[in-house]
């Protein structure tokens, strides 16, 4: 892996494998104490966020190492219900390599998973709900079906109401998590959820892997939903490269 931007040390541009500690240093959250929402997504060269419904075919081993590093730094991972179903989400696991870093930051052994769902049509017998290291959170609206809320709570999930209707208000969700001390926020999509965060103006950072692949087809982009009236501008914060994959970080200006 090579650092292409910013290069303050010539040795940073050398092509070598980075340790997980080096990746954790490179992807550290900014200081400040307030909530910080970052997204981690992968896209093919022609803009596909998935191939046949899953992101794995356009990913790489290094992309997955960065995926694990971002989880290792986060307090909570937000994910949409459809992505939970398609990707077969499991609970986040504790990893020894991040244990000291997490303890020093006052974090638990692993990030909580927060599933965003209006209908709560989820299989609460899955390990994500039945056997997590850290209790799974479910974010929904006040008008969500009462029987599904009870089913989620019976399964051991903590239900957080973050909207007045059936769905979740993105800004309110960020505030509700921050009130619980969960300020290092990470979303892994899917595209509809990311689009909601973008539209609400609450996304602070995008970690985008550009995969050197072409898929054609009609796969979703990394963010879906209604277009913004005015495109929001982000600035490049860092750029890494390995085997043709570009690992970018953009921050809101």
Band the pLDDT of 33: cuts 50, 70, 90: confident
**What φ, ψ does residue 80 adopt, rounded to 5°?**
-75, 155
| Res. 129: pLDDT tops 80 | yes
**CA dihedral of residues 27, 30, 35, 37 (deg, nearest 10):** -30
Place of tokens 């989620």: 152
Residues 132-170 pLDDT 10s:
899 999 999 999 999 999 999 999 999 999 999 989 999
Kind and range of the H or E run holding 101 = helix 96-104
pLDDT score at 88:
81
| Res. 47: pLDDT tops 80 | yes
How far apart are alpha carbons 228 and 224 in whole angstroms?
Answer: 11
| Res. 192: pLDDT tops 90 | yes
pLDDT score at 164:
95
Band the pLDDT of 102: cuts 50, 70, 90: very high
Residues 74-99 pLDDT 10s:
999 999 999 898 888 889 999 999 99
Residues 205-222 pLDDT 10s:
999 999 999 999 999 999
DSSP state of 102: H
pLDDT score at 190:
87
Band the pLDDT of 60: cuts 50, 70, 90: very high
Sketch out the chain's domains with CATH numbers: 35-245 (3.40.430.10)
pLDDT score at 66:
97
The tokens of 59 are what?
């990913």
pLDDT score at 198:
96
Higher pLDDT, 189 or 93: 93
pLDDT score at 189:
83
Alpha-carbon distance values, 85 to 39, 52, 123, 211 (Å)? 19, 14, 9, 24
| Res. 14: pLDDT tops 80 | no
């Amino acid at each position: 892996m090579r650092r292409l931007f910013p290069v303050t040390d010539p040795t940073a541009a050398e092509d070598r494998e980075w340790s997980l500690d080096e990746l954790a240093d490179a992807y550290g959250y900014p200081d400040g104490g307030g909530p910080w929402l970052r997204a981690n997504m992968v896209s093919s060269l022609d803009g596909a966020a998935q191939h046949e419904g899953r992101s794995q075919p356009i990913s790489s081993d290094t992309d997955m190492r960065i995926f694990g590093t971002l989880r290792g730094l986060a307090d909570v991972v937000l994910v949409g219900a459809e992505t939970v179903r398609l990707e077969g989400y499991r609970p986040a696991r504790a990893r020894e390599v991040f244990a000291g870093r997490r303890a020093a930051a006052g974090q638990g052994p692993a990030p909580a998973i927060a599933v965003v769902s209006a209908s709560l049509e989820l299989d609460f017998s899955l390990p994500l709900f039945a056997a997590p290291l850290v209790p799974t959170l479910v974010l929904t609206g006040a008008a969500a079906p009462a029987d599904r809320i009870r089913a989620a709570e019976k399964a051991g999930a903590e239900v957080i109401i973050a909207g007045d209707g059936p769905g979740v208000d993105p800004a309110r969700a960020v505030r509700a998590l921050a009130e619980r001390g969960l300020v290092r926020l990470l979303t892994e999509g899917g595209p509809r959820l990311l689009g909601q965060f973008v539209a609400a103006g609450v996304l602070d950072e995008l970690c985008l892997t550009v995969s050197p692949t072409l898929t054609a087809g009609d796969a979703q982009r990394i963010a879906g939903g209604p277009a913004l009236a005015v495109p929001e501008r982000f600035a490049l914060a860092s750029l890494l490269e390995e085997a043709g994959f570009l690992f970018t970080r953009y921050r809101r200006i």
